[in-house]
Amino acid sequence: MSVRAGIVVTGTEVLSGIIRDANGPWLSEALRGRGVEVSEIVVVGDRPEDIRRALDFLSDRDLVLTSGGLGPTADDLTVDVVASWAGVALEHDAALEERIWTIVGRLRGRLPFREAAMREGTRKQARVPAGATTLEPVGTAPGFLVSSSGPLVVVLPGPPRELQAMWASAVDVEPLRTLLASAGALEQRILRFFPLPEPQIAATLRELDADALPLEITTCLRRGELEVATVFGAGAADAYAGFEAALRERHGDVLFSDDGATIDEVIARLLAGRTVAVAESCTGGLMAGRLTDLAGSSAYVLGGLVVYSNEAKTALAGVPASLIAAHGAVSPEVAAALAAGARERLGADVGIGITGIAGPGGGTPAKPVGTVCLSVSTATDSEDRTVRLPGGRADVRDRTTTVALHMLRALLLRA
């Protein structure tokens, strides 16, 4: 059986672009991992009629997940709207109110605490749609499984940590458990390529007549890398194997990950005990910051030098002032000296040197905005590149770290 789901994300602050929705994409991936096909994510504000309209829109799905609107304040309306939409009353659950009150009590020490206001909010959160199954609070808000004449509605809180933890326990609660068990298993495989332009993968997909395959193939550029994600049912394993082989035949030279690993994780594996250090200018700390994103990175990242000024390049990374004067701060020579300086000052096996023009100012005809010189070196080997990256300041800075990681991979593969 195929199970189709829709997601309703509530919150005027999400709808208006003030905060970025994290829950829709997260739930979509979680559902896909359980074989459930998500047909749409609808973001609506905290207006009862708009939430109701979104539920109507999704009324022929098997499953609807809502996120947000479970808090103690008056603009938290989701439970009221879902109950009314499903045609059931709200009932006060005294035991639930006491459990929430116990949780709220723990906030006393940490937050300014107004007893009456807090009690009022708690009472509101303890109203349960008749016949619904309560999902115990992760923060202070309980969630609910509400059956309707149409889909099963799973009402989840808005804070991503609460939502994710509540979802993890909800999947074992009836009737959600049985519904999920009825979904056919779907496989997802991700292949990552760098560098590979989008028109080229598009041409490859046309050549392979990919539309005719029993595979749902999506391609996207992410942080400068091209990702091919393919979802398929149990019967299409052979079709996928053939498709992957055809991609490897055409683009295997730029395939760097076939097991879901990001370039960051690939690097962490490849370093295998070797240490790395950074001396960076235009990325201003983001290169070191990216290398230390992963837990456990202290095993191989020794540290970095953020050398924004020319004086800092010389004083901290030991780049000769004469070298800067001769070639300019943004030059392959200075990048190489930065990489060497990072290695020497931090005693690392591998050094990364970055210098460039992130913009919006500072460009020249010879070195326009987006020009970045990179060097990755060990004592005996190096990778050196000068690139011109598109986009604004944030794009150039972020893309630079991707290029550097791929240069580091190339160096480590031959070391």
User: 307 to 366, contacts with a copy of itself by CB under 8 A?
Assistant: 307-309, 311-312, 315-316, 345-347, 359-361
CA contacts within 13 A on the Cβ side of 88: 19
Q: Report whether 130 contacts 145 (CB < 8 A).
A: no
Distance in angstroms (rounded) separating the CA atoms of residues 200 and 247: 11
CA-to-CA dists, residue 37 to 28, 63, 125, 232, 386, angstroms:
8, 10, 31, 11, 43
Beta bridge partners of 283: none
Q: Which of 70, 76, 62, 270 is nearest to 181 (CA)?
A: 62
Binding mask 7-46 for a copy of itself (x = CB under 8 A): ----xxxxxxxxxxx--xxxxxx--x-----xxxxxxxxx
For residue 360, whether the previous peptide bond is cis, meaning omega lies within 30 degrees of 0, is yes
As measured in angstroms, the least distance from the Cβ of 69 to a copy of itself is 12
The footprint of a copy of itself on residues 75-104 (CB under 8 A) is 75
As measured in angstroms, the least distance from the Cβ of 322 to a copy of itself is 20
Beta-strand runs (E) in 36-119? 37-44, 63-67, 90-92
As measured in angstroms, the least distance from the Cβ of 143 to a copy of itself is 18
Interacting span for a copy of itself (CB under 8 A) from 47-55, 89-97, 146-154, 370-378: 47-55
Q: Is 59 a binder of a copy of itself (CB under 8 A)?
A: no
Q: Is 261 a binder of a copy of itself (CB under 8 A)?
A: no
Of 384 and 395, CB closest to a copy of itself: 395
Q: Is 203 a binder of a copy of itself (CB under 8 A)?
A: yes
Q: Of the candidates 208, 292, 328, 387, which one interacts with a copy of itself according to CB under 8 A?
A: 292
Q: Report whether 316 contacts 307 (CB < 8 A).
A: yes
Of 109 and 365, CB closest to a copy of itself: 109
For residue 195, whether the previous peptide bond is cis, meaning omega lies within 30 degrees of 0, is yes
Q: Of the candidates 112, 235, 273, 365, which one interacts with a copy of itself according to CB under 8 A?
A: 112
The footprint of a copy of itself on residues 126-155 (CB under 8 A) is none
Q: Of the candidates 89, 130, 168, 202, which one interacts with a copy of itself according to CB under 8 A?
A: 202
Of 148 and 297, CB closest to a copy of itself: 297
Distance in angstroms (rounded) separating the CA atoms of residues 233 and 216: 10
Q: Of the candidates 172, 211, 249, 253, which one interacts with a copy of itself according to CB under 8 A?
A: 211
Q: Is 283 a binder of a copy of itself (CB under 8 A)?
A: yes
Q: Of the candidates 59, 84, 147, 200, which one interacts with a copy of itself according to CB under 8 A?
A: 200
As measured in angstroms, the least distance from the Cβ of 171 to a copy of itself is 17
Distance in angstroms (rounded) separating the CA atoms of residues 148 and 133: 13
Q: Report whether 216 contacts 2 (CB < 8 A).
A: no
